[in-house]
Structure 1
Amino acid sequence: MIESIQQFDLELFLKIHRGLSNGFFDWLMPLMRNRYFWSPLYAFIVIFCIKQYRKQGYYIIGMLLFTFAAGDTISAKIIKPLVARVRPCNDFNLTNYIIHRVPCGSGLSFPSAHATNHFAIAVFLIGIFYSRWKPILPIGIFWAFIISFAQVYVGVHYPVDVTAGAILGTLIGFICSRMFKKLQPDF
């Protein structure tokens, strides 16, 4: 069973990483996974929360940082060392198949911390703001998805890595948004 999942994962990885290869994606996908590219969005979230919600805005930002820290710690510090899966771009068996679009890094692959963190942030924000602004649901999910997809496209994660990260991040974001609602019941 595990071998068949790994084989499917490898085949899907190659279909995305090599099969979807084109100049536009080669330009776009490295940007989508770059934290500096999203800095204006992060700054907007902070400024918006503080200006719009004042004291509660600081609580939102604090809980958002906690959500990010929880996702990053659980994925990168706890699960990755336990699983110890090598990134596809560092797998010697895939040397001839990898297109180096970004530096690979020396970190491990499972689960994707990018996917975990961004799904956690997106789901947390959805949980907080959905009742006030319904478009946050598709926008937040698409945002986290495109960052996760980019991880596979550039060759630093397998599809199962980002899927597991998305599931983990969704769970963390949901729990943290519920915690926030319990701590701030009038929000």
Structure 2
Amino acid sequence: MIENLIELDREIFIYLNSLGKREYDFFWLVMTNKILNFTIYFIFSIIYLSKTNLKRFSLLVFTILLMILLTDQTTNFFKYSFSRLRPCHEEDLIGIIRLLKSSCGGLYGYFSAHASNSFALASFFSMLYIKNGIKIPIFLISVAVLVSYSRIYIGVHYPFDVISGAFFGILSGYSFYLFSKKYLKVF
């Protein structure tokens, strides 16, 4: 059963990765760059600062840093516990897949830290800004989806790595939002 799922994941990865075109590579390399996420959430944090006091803003920053630390370290724990090679480290995939970066990251890929961090931030900030309408959450979730897909496109994660990371990120972001609302009184 597990072997069948792993094989299906591999086949879907090869298919999705093969859809890449040279003229789109730059876009996906930008999407996978961590600076993009940092810039987007820096802007939304500054907007929040303009609507609150410094103490609440400081608690918000503390919560976000703690959330990213947790998602990142949990991701590393899973990567070393499952020891699933990234597709770019699979010898039998060399020459079959498109690898857009000179290095493909660590040896193991389950699950994607880019996906978990992107979705944690997207769900946290979506909850924070939902009272202003649905446009901001749609934008943030869309960015998280694009960042996550970029990991498949550039050849460093299987789809299940990304999907698992996204689910964990959503859970993490929502949990940290509820925690900060209830205990830290950030909102």
Q: Normalising to structure 2: TM-score of the pair?
A: 0.92
Task: Verify the 8 A CA contact 1:128 1:181 in the aligned structure 2.
Answer: no
1:45 corresponds in structure 2 to: 44
1:95 corresponds in structure 2 to: 94
**Offset, 1:184:** 4.6
Aligned residues: 185
Task: Verify the 8 A CA contact 1:49 1:61 in the aligned structure 2.
Answer: no
Bigger shift: residues 64-73 or 98-107:
98-107
Write the distance in 1 (CA, Å) between the matches of 2:47 and 2:37.
15
Task: Verify the 8 A CA contact 1:67 1:172 in the aligned structure 2.
Answer: yes
1:80 corresponds in structure 2 to: 79
Write the distance in 1 (CA, Å) between the matches of 2:86 and 2:173.
25
User: Does residue 160 in structure 1 map to residue 160 in structure 2?
Assistant: yes
**Offset, 1:25:** 2.2
Write the distance in 2 (CA, Å) between the matches of 1:47 and 1:182.
22
Change over 3 Å in CA distance of 1:177–1:186 after alignment to 2: closer
SS in 1 for 2:175: helix
Q: Percent identity?
A: 29
2:23 corresponds in structure 1 to: 24
1:126 corresponds in structure 2 to: 126
**Offset, 1:49:** 2.2
Q: Normalising to structure 1: TM-score of the pair?
A: 0.92
User: Does residue 58 in structure 1 map to residue 37 in structure 2?
Assistant: no
2:149 corresponds in structure 1 to: 149
Unaligned runs of 5+ in 2: none
Write the distance in 1 (CA, Å) between the matches of 2:9 and 2:67.
28
Write the distance in 2 (CA, Å) between the matches of 1:144 and 1:174.
15
